[in-house]
Amino acid sequence: MEWDFPQGADQYFETVQPEWKKLGFTTEVVRLFWEYPEANDITAVDPVVEANVEERVSRQLRFLRALDLIDESDKLTPNGIWLATVYQPPAQQPVTSVDVSIERKGSLGAAEQEVFRGLLLGHHWLPMLATAHQLSGERVPAKQSDGRHVTSFSERLDSIEEYSDLSSGAWQTRAEVHYNWFCAIGFARRREGELALTEDGHAFHDRVEQYYPPEWDDFVA
């Protein structure tokens, strides 16, 4: 089968930061923008200050812009409003005077998973495909370490110019973030010390298999 991308699918983040891997925290920060729409600086609102996470929230803003959840004026976009309105509070809420919990959300609700599936695929298509391709055919340890699976992940994406000079440590971070994303959105799970695609993950793999570059099969470890 001739390989080609669907129109508009050549999207990817030029950088992937380690603090991006916890999507539960991302939803909490987006919800802050919803609850404090008049705030000039979201890192200075009460929940952030009380939790002492000003720096962590600040580092999330780049990710929110990359996903088109906030604009350059730090206001929620339609995508941000979408995620904020399906926000599911954590099971255990603290006894506090503030309205939004910070760093308590360990998993995503079903609606939140659907939002992130659309956003990550829409803004980061090729690396998400690379993750699905790798997990469909390789044994990837659930507890990450520098190893062959990281090299295998990087080989699928070395055609992206911005990724060509990354260090092994940077690739390890990227691999871990993508594996965490797949688990968070219900495409993969940790089982018997390895990562495995879920039923939804296999369904996604089947839908996009036609778009895998044929040379990716040479990288299966």
Separation between Cα atoms, residue 126 and residue 120, nearest integer Å = 10
The segments of the chain whose pLDDT lies below 70 read 1-9, 92-99, 145-146, 221
CA dihedral 143, 117, 78, 51 (to 10 degrees): -20
Q: Which two tokens stand for residue 15?
A: 């950088």
Residue type present at position 87: Y
Q: Which distant-in-sequence residues (6+ apart) come within 8 Å of 213 by Cβ? A: 3, 156
195 three-state secondary structure: strand
> Going along the chain, which residue ranges are E strands?
140-141, 188-191, 194-197
Q: How many CB atoms are located within 10 Å of the residue 103 CB? A: 14
User: In the chain, helix, strand, coil percent, each to 5?
Assistant: 55, 5, 40
Residue matched to tokens 């990710």: 63
Digit-coded pLDDT (tens) for 74-92? 999 999 999 999 999 887 6
pTM (2 d.p.): 0.92
Q: Which two tokens stand for residue 101?
A: 């919990």
Separation between Cα atoms, residue 132 and residue 211, nearest integer Å = 11
**Predicted pLDDT at 40:** 92
**What is the secondary structure of 87-115 as a DSSP string?**
----SS--S-SSSS-SS---S--HHHHHH
Residue type present at position 13: F
Digit-coded pLDDT (tens) for 100-141? 778 888 899 999 999 999 999 999 999 999 999 999 999 999
Q: Which domains are present in the chain?
A: 23-105 (1.10.10), 120-219 (1.10.10)
Among 151, 160, 147, 154, CA closest to 130 = 154
- Residue pair 186/198 in contact (Cβ under 8 Å)? The answer is yes
